[in-house]
């Protein structure tokens, strides 16, 4: 998985104190309990997460596939990245649609991937419902996410899908934490879970390899994982997600035009 480590290095150099994300403090997910999860791969190696929103469409972060090449694939229906699974479906990318305003500051870091053909819907492959309501997810609400990214700051990569439960943080806290690193906007939300505020205490969080994955609230995708701190699981460097509801018009427009 050398490419994931390279992604971390490049992202760190490009964005300073903020890097793409992984699952820390979570646990192995029940196999195929999140049938919308997608692994975005290059040359057979996992790079980012994503999630199925329609039979031919996967939502992810714009920075995950800046220039998707011929070796890029989207893998659905898997729990393990290495073991043979009869539920596995692999797709070439028909087209990649970055948000037109996507920038290196983290703004509008969202994209849609059109699969070469429709996914076959099974118990292991199903789209997740997008959160369309403009009503904000309340501070302190329990949310969750999942991915195949790092499970510690030493770069340990899991073979199987991990998941973690988090809490939504207040906007004031997010703006304070990222005041000097990112242009935190109303299109973003922060989530983590810490027992206490301590630089030595690892919080439940996400990291390298998890970018593009969904933030889930009441069985709906409310966010797309975009960025976090240069270390994962630090109380004042929580994961930052783009709010799906703010991008519904763009999502609907892209999918309808194709």
Site of tokens 């229906």: 77
Is 159 annotated in the active site?
A: no
What pLDDT shows up at residue 16?
33
Of 20, 32, 39, 63, which is the active-site residue? 63
- Residue 252: pLDDT band by 50, 70, 90 thresholds? very high
pLDDT at 79 (0 to 100): 98
Based on the residue annotation, tell me whether 211 is a catalytic residue of this protein. yes
Continuous segment of H or E residues that includes residue 27? strand 27-28
Q: What is the pTM of this model?
A: 0.87
Average pLDDT over residues 211-219: 97
Grade residue 181 by pLDDT with cuts at 50, 70 and 90.
Answer: low
Neighbours of 234 (CB within 10 A): 22
pLDDT tens digits, 113-154: 999 999 999 999 999 999 999 888 999 999 999 999 888 787
* pLDDT at site 213: 96
Cβ contact 225:188 at 8 Å: no
Determine which one of 111, 211, 226, 245 is catalytic: 211
Could you tell me if 154 and 134 are in contact, meaning their C-beta atoms sit under 8 angstroms apart?
no
Per-residue pLDDT at 157: 83
Confidence check: pLDDT of 7 > 60: no
188 neighbors 241 (Cβ within 8 angstroms): yes
Residue 109: active-site member: yes
Catalytic residue of the set 108, 109, 205, 210: 109
- Are 39 and 3 in contact by the 8 Å Cβ rule? The answer is no
Q: For residues 87 and 213, what is the distance between their CA atoms, to the nearest angstrom?
A: 20
């Amino acid at each position: 998985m050398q490419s994931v480590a390279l992604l971390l290095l490049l992202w760190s150099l490009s964005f300073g104190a903020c890097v793409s994300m992984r699952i820390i403090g979570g646990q192995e997910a029940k196999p195929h309990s999140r049938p919308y999860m997608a692994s975005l791969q290059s040359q057979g190696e996992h790079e980012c997460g994503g999630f199925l929103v329609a039979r031919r469409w996967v939502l992810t972060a714009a920075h995950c596939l800046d220039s998707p090449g011929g070796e890029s694939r989207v893998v659905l229906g898997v729990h393990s990245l290495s073991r043979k699974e009869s539920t596995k479906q692999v797709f070439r990318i028909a087209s990649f649609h970055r948000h037109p305003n996507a920038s290196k500051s983290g703004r509008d870091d969202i994209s849609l991937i059109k699969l070469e053909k429709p996914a076959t819907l099974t118990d292991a492959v199903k789209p997740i419902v997008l959160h369309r309501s403009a009503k904000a997810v309340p501070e302190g609400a329990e949310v969750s996410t999942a991915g195949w990214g790092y499970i510690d700051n030493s770069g340990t990569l899991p073979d199987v899908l991990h998941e973690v439960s988090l809490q939504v943080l207040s906007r004031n806290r997010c703006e304070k934490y990222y005041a000097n690193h990112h242009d935190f906007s109303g299109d973003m939300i922060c989530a983590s879970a810490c027992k206490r505020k301590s630089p030595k205490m690892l919080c439940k969080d996400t990291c390298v390899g998890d970018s593009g994955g969904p933030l889930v609230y009441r069985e709906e995708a409310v966010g797309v994982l975009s960025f976090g701190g240069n270390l994962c699981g630090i109380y004042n460097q929580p994961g930052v997600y783009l709010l799906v509801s703010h991008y519904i018009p763009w999502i609907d427009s892209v999918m309808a035009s194709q």
